[in-house]
Chain A
């Protein structure tokens, strides 16, 4: 139930209630996703999707943090 997957927004269209619906690509597989909870998201952005809803926009800068820590650890080991 926690399973949510990152995907890339390829198309956005507002629905009958004025909410943004979208097509999101998961490695080529397209699914319909509601963007109501991530209103600033644009085509080309990456989102975390769960059960047809985008819950967050993936932050590229923060995404690199994992690797920054790894380099830190590698440096400590080298000493």
Chain B
């Protein structure tokens, strides 16, 4: 397939690995903040093929994993209400809330459906005027343009039985939170290629400057990741910092301006708690007041939800990169994809799920 197969050539990957081997003269720590990148790195074994001096740390790049527990419980409470048709992307369904998950609500007779696009949820609302259709809008900036469009279209078309439970999170504040933390060991970042396709990379420039770190906007195929890592290491070895763009076939400095414009009309920035990390100021989106009629949190009174994490789950440390999945006592024993204790084991982009799938035999 074009624009895909070419970036998976083993021979070319070998060339880049050899170049990295020759380049590295001392230990370096690089973090990626994107579940998709984490997954490719582990699946292809790139994390194992890099020289020992290079440490890859997996950051909180899985939006499913960082969705606050209270939000999951809120979603479950809404999905249980009579007349509600609850829609979501697939991997949210098995994320454990305090007591249960959306899939169990579905199994118990709740109308919970997986959709491919928020526009599908809007269509369901148009076709089922007697139902309250809710869409669980979870994601980084990559997903925001689509969600903004669904809400905006709902208003344009006068669809009143549609609402969105919004739990968007933003990458740059998370990057700053990590860099600003006392225990930080990360010296360079791979920035998420599709987040930057939407947002551009201007907002990373002041971060690179303030903390003197190289940040490389990187794609998702094996060659993209190896090239991004190579570029980061080259900057580190040469003592340079700033933002570079490896994924230039999709990313420009300004990003997708049309998407940003609509997002700005529908969303505003807000503080958000990140599951396992805590509150990060101005790190999320919520619906603007003029779209309150399509805001599920306003429409459904679901206050007083008492959230309780599993005492065994160390998701927070996994998401901050201070522990690896196989270092968790419950990994692959009490916690598996079939009965997960926490979000990183459920999500297709979670580090624990990736380790379980690809590394279990070797750890």
A residues engaging B (CB < 8 A)? Answer: 1-6, 8, 16-17, 26-27, 31-32, 34, 36-39, 46, 48, 50-53, 55-56, 58-60, 62-63, 65-67, 69-70, 73-74, 76-77
Contacts and interface: CB of A to CB of B under 8 A. Distances in A.
11 contacts: A1-B89, A1-B140, A2-B37, A16-B157, A26-B1, A48-B194, A51-B143, A58-B3, A58-B250, A66-B223, A67-B12
Contact of A2 (B15, B117, B220): B220
Contacts of B36: 1-3
A65 B64 contact: no
Interface in B245-300: 246, 248-251, 256, 258-259, 262
A65 B249 CA distance: 8
Give the interface SS of chain A, mostly helix, strand, loop or mixed: mixed
A50 B142 contact: yes
Nearest to B91: A1
B63 interface: yes
Given A34-B149, A63-B3, A4 B62 contact: no
A2 B61 contact: yes
A33 B22 CA distance: 44
Contacts of B227: 66, 69
Interface of B: 1-4, 6-7, 12, 15-16, 18-19, 22, 34-37, 61-64, 89, 116-120, 138-140, 142-143, 145-146, 149, 153, 156-157, 192-195, 197-198, 220, 223-224, 227, 246, 248-251, 256, 258-259, 262, 348-349
Contacts of A50: 142-143, 146, 194
Given A27-B1, A58-B3, A66-B227, A48 B250 contact: yes
A64 B153 CA distance: 37
Nearest to B7: A66
